[in-house]
Amino acid sequence: MPHTFISLAKACGLAALAASLLVLGLPDARAEENVWPILKEQAFGDRPIQEEDGMVVLETPSKVEDAAIVPLTVRVPPSVKGELKSLTLFIDKNPDPKVATLTFGPAAGTSGERSFSTRVRVDNFSHVRAILETADGSLHMTTKFLAAAGGCAAMQAKDPDADSADMGKVIVRTFPPALDSNPIWAAQVMIKHPNHNGMQLDINTAKFIPARFVKEMTVKRDGELVFQLDGTFSISTNPNFRFTFSRGEENDLDVVIVDTDGTVFEGQTHPKGS
């Protein structure tokens, strides 16, 4: 009886299921080289970057359990006042190191604790960086090291058939602050989307599933821009975002998402009803 041996030409680190091996601490050779100078040059040229100056805080899990779905949170402490221009997230050793760039608009707020969270794939032992650009154009960076591997090739979809049935479903939620005086609201956007990175094999065709991921997301509050996000496949399957925005009149959020196929997905929430 014939049987099939699989051999793949292309590898992308370890499986998510291997998370427990992380205690062994066996980074591969790529983890040794420092790619940041090149990434910095590409993204910011020769602009100076202040490091660890307290203007931006990055929270990562102390131990990564599933490299295909690693929660990251960036906070800008309340002591930082004024508008923010942009926020960029990098995972140095990922196939596409840039996770996302957010370009902020007037509805992102000018005070209070502003934050942004998402879930990412981490392909290798890597530095994770958040670079904040403030209104005066200065750049501020904070860095964490993540001992995680294998989020890229790992097929995170546990039930791909159920997921593809719901493809494109968008949920938008807002969370009013506990105190009415707080000028900052929180929100969540989630979309059912495989965010295929082109590194997962389709056994039926013996080909890699073509890359298809969320490329752009625009969030508006009462018609004013909160931020525009440019994303990559470093963001996990079923992309999930938490963020803050400044209090408005209605606090209606409108979200438009475009993927690399050019498909447009929309979601909104109207907390006061319509």
Partner 1 sequence: MCTPKLISRQTFLKASLALAATPLLRYVPAHAAAADVSEVAPGVFVHQGRYEVQSPENRGDMANASFVVGSEGVAVIDTSGSAVMGRELRDAIRAVTNKPIKYVINTHMHPDHVFGNAAFVQDNPTFVGHYKLARALGTRSQGYITANKQMLGEATFKGSEIILPTLSIKEPTTLDLGDRTLLLEPQPTAHTDNDLIVTDSKTNTLFLGDLLFSVHVPTIDGSIKGWLALLDEMGKRKAARVVPGHGPQTMELPEALEPEQRYLATIAADVRRQIAEGKTLAEATKTAGFSEKDAWKLFDQYHVRNVTAAFAELEWE
Contact set with partner 1 (CB under 8 A): 1-6, 8, 10-21, 24, 26, 59, 61, 63, 65-66, 69, 71, 73, 117, 119, 150, 153-155, 158-162, 166, 169, 171, 175, 186, 190, 192, 200-204, 238, 240, 242
Minimum gap (Å) between residue 175 Cβ and partner 1: 5
Minimum gap (Å) between residue 85 Cβ and partner 1: 26
Minimum gap (Å) between residue 104 Cβ and partner 1: 21
Minimum gap (Å) between residue 106 Cβ and partner 1: 25
Minimum gap (Å) between residue 4 Cβ and partner 1: 4
Pick the closer one to partner 1 by CB: 144 or 169: 169
Give burial (CB, 10 Å; 0-12/13-18/19+) of 255. buried
Pick the closer one to partner 1 by CB: 38 or 171: 171
CA separation for the pair 201, 8 (Å, rounded):
9
> What is the C-alpha end-to-end distance of the chain, expressed in Å?
64
Pick the closer one to partner 1 by CB: 43 or 201: 201
Strands 214-221 and 84-91: unpaired
Q: What is the DSSP letter of 111?
A: S
Distances (CA, A) of 156 to 15, 39, 196: 10, 27, 10
Minimum gap (Å) between residue 87 Cβ and partner 1: 18
Q: Which of 213, 235, 217 is closest to 226 using CA atoms?
A: 217
Minimum gap (Å) between residue 132 Cβ and partner 1: 20
Strands 184-191 and 240-246: antiparallel
Pick the closer one to partner 1 by CB: 19 or 255: 19
Answer whether 196's CB lies under 8 Å from 212's CB. Answer: yes
Pick the closer one to partner 1 by CB: 134 or 142: 142
**Ordered strands of the 240-246 beta sheet:** 57-59, 70-76, 114-120, 240-246, 184-191, 170-175
Pick the closer one to partner 1 by CB: 139 or 191: 191
CA separation for the pair 213, 226 (Å, rounded):
22
Pick the closer one to partner 1 by CB: 2 or 48: 2
CA separation for the pair 142, 49 (Å, rounded):
10
